[in-house]
Amino acid sequence: MGDLDNNIIVGKIGTVYGVKGWLKIHSFTDETEAILDYFPWSLKLGNKIRSVDITDWRRHNKGLVVKVAGIDDRDIAQALVGSEILASKEALPELPEGEFYWRDLIGMNVVTTNGYDLGTVSEMMETGANDILVVKANPNDGFGKKERLIPYLFEQVIVSVDADNKQICVDWDPGF
């Protein structure tokens, strides 16, 4: 089955499509069809994970519909609706030096160039202009902050990302 640590969520199963067991999928990859590069898939629903083979796929409106091997009936397909689509981390391409997947940044500690500990990256957000680090402040934050939104802009704000020590250094005023 594979444990969750070695997998990454690349999408989610939407609704059933048609009567022959096809399913709509929501891809979390930058390019919708890139999700198809990450076979084999496992589907996680609740605490159950099962491997599946996708035998066919096609575009549908802005999304994709897929055919899961062995599922030829709308009612059986219905049981998969809402499943998270997992792919092995090994299936993801290696990134160039200095680039990171969001999942690698989440959980990292964020400190300023002056050594002030801003807290931990709790999530990432995408805006039109750039990505944003959502940093959950430490409970005893000296500025009374609960969280900070810090633009993920290299050289301007992000000074360095140390993957080995799980730390991001930023040029940022802790008062913001």
Domain limits, the chain? 4-91, 102-170
- Give dist(CA 133, CA 130) in Å, integer: 10
Q: What is the mean pLDDT of residues 59-69?
A: 93
Q: Could you give the dihedral angle defined by the CA atoms of residues 103, 108, 112 and 115, in that order, rounded to the nearest 10 degrees? A: -170
Q: Where does 34-113 have alpha helices with state H?
A: 74-78, 102-105
* Residue 72 CA, distance from chain mean position: 30
CA angle 164, 3, 33 (to 5 degrees): 85
Q: What is the mean pLDDT of residues 43-48?
A: 93
Instruction: Please tell me which residue, 4 or 124, carries the higher pLDDT value.
Output: 124
pTM above 0.75, yes or no: no
The architecture (CATH level 2) of 102-170 comes to Roll (2.30)
Q: Which CATH number fits domain 4-91: 3.40.50.620, 3.90.1150.10, 2.60.120.330, 2.40.30.60?
A: 2.40.30.60
Say if residue 1's pLDDT is above 70.
no
Confidence of residue 4 (pLDDT cuts 50, 70, 90): low
Q: What percent of the chain has pLDDT over 70?
A: 97
